[in-house]
Structure 1
Amino acid sequence: MYAIVEIAGQQFKVSKDQKVYVHRLASEEGSKVTFDKVLLLEDNGNVTLGAPAVEGASVEAKVLQHLKGDKVIVFKKKRRKGYKKKNGHRQSLTQIVIEGISGATAKKKATKKADVEVEAVTEEVKPKATRAKKPKTEE
């Protein structure tokens, strides 16, 4: 069983007991969080798609720790101009472990669409205008 869930603005494919690094969450270490925006849910070959989210589905997770990611160096240079800028960045991350995925048990029934009559529209198709060529005259 797996799910595609949106966490802190990013989409992740998660399954039970999986550890995931996400953007910093505002929860304390050791606390449990629930994510309700489940976009896709798969259970033994049965795939449920949301529009945009699956109703009644949620993913429970536990916050393990808050940490910083690897340093990324941003270096800008314009040659022959004496311009150099060096900057660094470390992303703030949260490590979570997925404890469970609860899905919607009620399946939606397929709705019948009303028959729509399509009227045939008849239009006159005019031939494409072509330029008249001058006849070649022999001199």
Structure 2
Amino acid sequence: MDPADAPYDGFADTFAREAAVSPYNAHYDRPTVLGLLGDVNGLRILDGGCGPGLYLSELAARGADTVGIDQSADMVRLARERLGSLAQIRQHDLDAPLTWAGDASFDIVLLVLVLHYAHDRVRTLTELTRVLRPDGRIIISTSHPTAD
């Protein structure tokens, strides 16, 4: 993996501190996404682009079986530190196939503020749909277009 393709390596700690309390992340996106999910107790959830594990920690506390992936080694480290054994965290690029995940193995897939990093969004969404159960849901949030 080209280091330029992991944009958060090198300043993940600063990002994690800011994302935990920033108005957009802490008071808009995170509560909205978590509210859309409803009761997740017993559901298997894949967080694609889990960052420092802010969403995963809330989902695990609500009883979900959580798996997080992130391209950034630094974000993976932070998520593992935050969650310990409460979630499985893997370093994985959204552009790569999820060879370790079986068909229809997740109830919910989250793509929170990350889809714009995928080079081929159709291929990424196709792969995520493959691992989603037939009655599953994909929840996507993006940053405001004027911020890009």
TM-score (norm 1): 0.21
Q: Which has the higher helix share?
A: 2
Bigger relative contact order (CA 8 A; separation at least 6) = 1
TM-score (norm 2): 0.20
Q: Which has the higher strand share?
A: 1
